[in-house]
Each structure stands twice: as structure tokens, then as C-alpha cells.
Chain A
Amino acid sequence: MQALSRLLPILPGDYPLPVLVVVHVRPGRRNVLASLFAAKCNLEVREPDDKEPIAPGTILFAPPDYHMLVETDRTVSLSVEGPVQFSRPSIDVLFESAADAYGSGLVGAVLTGANHDGAEGLRALFEAGGTALVENPAGAAYPVMPRAALTLVPGAESLPLDALAQRLLDLAG
């Protein structure tokens, strides 16, 4: 959450890429995270409905208790199949489907976190030619997740948050 609060507000209002975000939260009320970040961000932030088109300049948060996937026609699919890495939504599920849909045009970042979710997905993304970014575990609030990602994807760029934010800006330029 704190990491995202430093990252997402940096993206300018004319940021040309769509941004999809998975946060591990307990299943609960809907739209809480999205409305929290909508107040801080320059971009439109919301939880998508199933089959919603993915538009540039929008930040989509996976709804609590759903997996969020990307279809090859660039729409969002949701799913309530079982948890992956004890997580629903799961980063692996998002990354793997997005890697199929976007291939080398995809940028993926694994931030602070307390389990191994995201590592397999980042590998799929990296193998599909995408850009793999990981928050430097040394500075992360919970280093388990970025460390797991770096172990599985040694070729990923390990960056402190500020540098990672800059990288997101540069990659879109």
C-alpha cells in the first residue's frame, strides 16, 4: 500500500499506458482501494467490471476476491476460481494472462509483499519478452515477495522505489 502510494501518484495525467494493479487484501467491501487511490492519483482509478475494455490512462485495481485477467482482445476478464499462492486476486494469474496478451510490450513490477505470488507470473512475462521490474528487497517493507521474484527471474531489474517509478515514466516515453 505504501509502496503503491509512492508509485501511482507519480504517473502524470497523460500517462499513455493502462495500469493494472493487484493488491492482496482480505475479501471485503468493494471499491475501497480504488476510491482511496482515485483521490491521490492523476489518472482515473477504478475496479473494472468483467469484459471491460482496457483503456490507456486508467488504473484498474483487481476487485477483492476475484482474479483479474487480460484477454487477447485487451479486455478484462474476472474469475473466482480458487486462490493461487493463497491469493485471490493473484499476481501470477494477472501477469501470465497479460504476458499472453501483450508479449514484449508488457511491463511488470513486483513490489513489497509477504508471499511468493508474482514470481511465476514475472517469469512468464520475462520469457514473453516483457520488461521485468522488482522493488529492491533491501528497501522493501516485506522483502519476501521481491526476493522470490528475483530468485526466479534473475534477469529482472531490481530497483529502489523512486528509480522504479522513474523507469515506469521512461518506459512509457
Chain B
Amino acid sequence: MVKERMDAEKMDGEQIEDIEIRLLLEALFRRYHYDFRNYAQASLKRRLRQARDQMGLPTFSALQDRLLRDPATVSRLLGFLTVQVSELFRDPAYFRAIREKVVPHLRTYPSLKVWIAGCSSGEELYSFVILFREEGLEDRTLFYATDINQDALDAAARGIYPLDRLRTFTENHQLSGGKSSLSDYYSTAYGHAAFDKSLRERVVFSDHSLVTDAVFAEMHLISCRNVMIYFDRGLQDRAVGLFRGSLARKGFLGLGAKESLRFSQYAGSFGEFVREEKIYQRRDP
């Protein structure tokens, strides 16, 4: 009996929390147009709890109250919700496959557009620019780096990373088939490595949401790694549809190592180009 009542109270507590989360996400959308309403719940809930606790607030309702009235709370909250810790050349095998299998196709185009969707603080972007420079494609390429988080975009445009991360970056770069020394591309000072500004000459940074914004330019390659894992299935479909519409004929789409189009309604719109590295190619009828 007691246990049943406790269960009931507990159940109420959980249901209340779910209601609060829905309302909080609705508030974030209506007031600031950031739309997290269709993010995958499990991880979102976890990060919202972190945000609530670290802001010292007792409930999600209190967080919602602060969010609605204090715009400074938005960027703090986004910091929790969009946190991504990546590396240069993360999953070297992916970049090796881009280099060995995709680049030969890209060479046949006189000009190229590459979109790094959800670029976060820029690690994946710099990996691509360096790879394209090594392969002699940089000069004919325009890179689009987009994210919803302006702080992340600013960090990407600075290209400064703590020095202790450079060892991993360097190892990854070598494993990816790097043809130069990574140290050619950065200078060090005060415990940080600043990547050379020449790497950003062909880059357009832009605020863009896969959730609410529309098709981008006509791309030859889109890389979107470990971004859609935070979306629910419906939202993943929207984003993949957006990629489909933003790709040139026979354009390439690269996903994270554990992402798959198998579960997507657009599965038929893409062929597996390098299956084990989740590199797909747009399929046209």
C-alpha cells in the first residue's frame, strides 16, 4: 500500500517534470526561436537537468521563468544543449575515406561547395580545409560552416584550441593519411594553438538551423557528423530531406560513425558510397 502510494507520487513527479520540460522548450521557441522541441528526449533531459542544477534552480519551471525574462540565460542554456566535444580528424578512417574515395570524384568539378553542418567549435571544418589544401582542392572550394549556436560559430571562426588537445589532433591527422605536418597550420602561444587565418579565407560562417531553416546552396559534399543523433526520428527525416535538397546530383553526404540512413524515410534517396564510414551519395532516378 505504502509502496503503491509512493509509486503514485513518484509517477506524478516524473509526469510533472515531463510537462515542465515541454513548457520550457515551448518558451525557448516562442521567445527566442530556438527549436529543441523535437530533440531526442533522453539526452536532452539529462542536459536540461545539468543546466537547471548548475544554475542553482529548483525546478524547470523556475528555469523557464528566468529564461523568459532574462535573455542572458539563453546563451548559457544553449551552451548546455549544444555542447559538443570534438577533435580534428575525429575518426581518422572517415577522413581517409574522404581523401581516397570521395576526393577523386570531387577533382572532376571546376568549382566545389562543401557544407559542414553543425560545425560547433570548428574542429571538423579545419580538418576538411586542411585535407582539401593537401589535395590541392582548396582554391576551387567554398566551405560553408553553420551552427545554431553563435558562441560556437565565434569559436570556430577563432580556431584556437588548448595545446593539450593537439597531440590527439596530430595523431588523427597522420592516421587520416595527412600529407603534411599539422604544425604547419597553427602557431602556439600561452598554452593554446591558433590555426592560421589563411585556412578561413574560403570559409563562410553562418547561423543556420537544420530544424527550422531551409535548403542551403547546391553542395557537392555535406558533412554532418554526430549532430542528428540529438534529433528524434521525425526531425532526423527533416534534416536528411534538407540535405537531399541541398546536394548537387551525385553529391556526397557524410555522417558520424554510428549514424545510419537505414531508419530514415529518405533511405532510398541515397546510395551507400563507403558503407563502413557512413558516406552516402545522392541517388537520382
Binding site for B on A (CB under 8 A): 30, 47-52, 63, 66-67, 69-72, 75, 77-82, 93, 96-97, 100-101, 127-129
Contact = CB atoms under 8 A, between A and B. Distances in A.
Contacts of B257: 30, 63
Contacts of A47: 258
Contacts of A78: 226, 229, 258
A125 to B, nearest CB: 13
Interface of B: 7, 10, 14, 40-43, 45-47, 83-86, 226, 228-230, 232-233, 236, 256-260, 262-263
B237 to A, nearest CB: 11
A166 B86 CA distance: 41
A50 B260 contact: yes
Nearest to B7: A129
A82 B41 CA distance: 17
A66 to B, nearest CB: 6
Given A79-B230, A80-B84, A81-B83, A52 B42 contact: no
B28 to A, nearest CB: 18
Contact of B42 (A48, A100, A128): A100
Given A70-B42, A81-B83, A100-B42, A52 B7 contact: no
Contacts of A97: 42-43, 45-46
7 contacts: A51-B236, A51-B263, A69-B40, A79-B229, A80-B226, A81-B83, A128-B10
Given A70-B42, A81-B46, A97-B46, 20 more contacts: A47-B258, A48-B258, A49-B259, A50-B228, A50-B229, A50-B260, A51-B233, A51-B263, A66-B258, A69-B40, A77-B42, A80-B85, A80-B226, A81-B84, A82-B85, A96-B46, A97-B42, A100-B14, A101-B42, A127-B10
A63 B10 CA distance: 32
Contact of A50 (B41, B86, B259): B259
Given A79-B230, A80-B84, A49 B42 contact: no
Max chain B C-beta neighbours (<10 A), residue from A51, A63, A70, A75: A51
